[in-house]
Amino acid sequence: MGKSIVIVLIVLLIMSDSCAGKKSTGTQIRFETTYGDITVKLYPETTKHHANFMKLVKEGFYNGVLFHRVIAGFMIQAGDPGSKNAKPGALLGEGDVGYTIPAEIIYPKYYHKRGALAAARQGDQTNPLKASSGCQFYIVEGKIFSDQALDSIENGNKRKLEGKLFREILKDRQNEAKKYRLERSQPKLDALRDSILDIVHKKMEKNPTYKLTAQQRADYKTIGGTPHLDGEYTVFGEVTEGLDIVEKISKTTTGRNDRPMEDIKVMKAEVVK
């Protein structure tokens, strides 16, 4: 092989390595906590959550907040500004920044596997659009699930979706239903119900979003997570380093409202990449 060809090949290899090194892995944030460091990467598709989280980190908002809600085998939660310098035993979790972030639920691509970073929010009764807290977040610790347990979750998702679709279609056919009720015609009401169910089932067969993907099943059976939260909260990132710290925090002793008996503080949050 000629010397010039060797040089060209070396240059090409260097360029290839350089390009590979520049491949985007998402913005990364490091949380320096009293238990150790946790690094997360933010998903670029959740643009509003990405921008808001970056803004708060750069402003130093998270410096000094506590992990104020911790549940073993479930998750660890932080971001309440009222947790800074909070007195022992004080109830936490209601603090916010005065705004919410529109939901960016990209499911099933992003789900609640172990290490998932997601936005906390108010419940559906007061927050039907599932808008996220402007500042509070949680990191999934979760647990391992069997195929049988995942089948049960999947069946629950199926029933929930079936009910949702049924109510949506029935809403458009309320006049028809009202007419049959006034006529006291149970056969017609039954026929209406069956026709709506037929539409519902065809929709679900065409787009079976209630089913867990093969990747979800693999993750929930190996690394674990919290699958019952899927599709309900915005997952906007994941832990890249420090899962052992997440687990350590999750197992700490807690008191009222799942607040750790010993304060676990985010000493500093910073963009590292």
Confidence (pTM)? 0.84
Residue with tokens 């089948």: 151
The C-alpha angle 100, 101, 106, rounded to 5 degrees, equals 145
Q: Name every residue whose Cβ is closer than 8 Å to that of residue 114 and which is 6 or more positions away in sequence.
A: 140, 141, 142, 219, 223, 224, 225, 243
Please report whether residue 12 resides in a domain: no
Rounded mean pLDDT, 219-238? 97
Q: Annotate 21-56 with DSSP letters as a single string.
A: HTS----EEEEEETTEEEEEEE-TT-HHHHHHHHHH
Please report whether residue 250 resides in a domain: yes
Going from the C-alpha of 122 to that of each of 94, 101, 127, 203, the distances in angstroms are 10, 12, 6, 29
Number of alpha carbons in the 13 Å side-chain half-sphere of residue 172:
6
Phi, psi of 234 (to 5 degrees): -80, 115
Residues 165 and 89 in one domain: no
d(CA 233, CA 70): 18
Phi, psi of 243 (to 5 degrees): -60, -30
d(CA 196, CA 210): 19
Residues 132 and 237 in one domain: yes
Please report whether residue 214 resides in a domain: no
**What's the total number of domains in the chain?**
2
Residues 50 and 121 in one domain: yes
Residue with tokens 């949380």: 31
Please report whether residue 54 resides in a domain: yes
Tell me which residue of 234, 214, 177, 190 sits closest to 46, measured CA to CA. Answer: 234
Residues 104 and 125 in one domain: yes
Going from the C-alpha of 154 to that of each of 49, 118, 158, 161, 165, the distances in angstroms are 28, 21, 6, 11, 16
For 115-119, 157-161, 227-231, which range has the lowest pLDDT when averaged over its residues?
Answer: 157-161
The pLDDT of residue 207 is 83
The pLDDT of residue 5 is 43
For residue 71, give its domain range. Answer: 28-144+223-271
Does residue 12 surpass a pLDDT of 50? no
Tell me the residue length of the chain. 273
Other beta carbons within 10 Å of 143? 14
User: What percent of the chain has a predicted confidence (pLDDT) above 90?
Assistant: 86
Task: Write out pLDDT tens, residues 146-181.
Answer: 999 999 999 999 999 999 999 999 999 999 999 999
Does residue 6 surpass a pLDDT of 60? no
Please report whether residue 11 resides in a domain: no
Tell me which residue of 97, 86, 91 sits closest to 135, measured CA to CA. Answer: 97
**CB 118 within 8 Å of CB 112:** yes
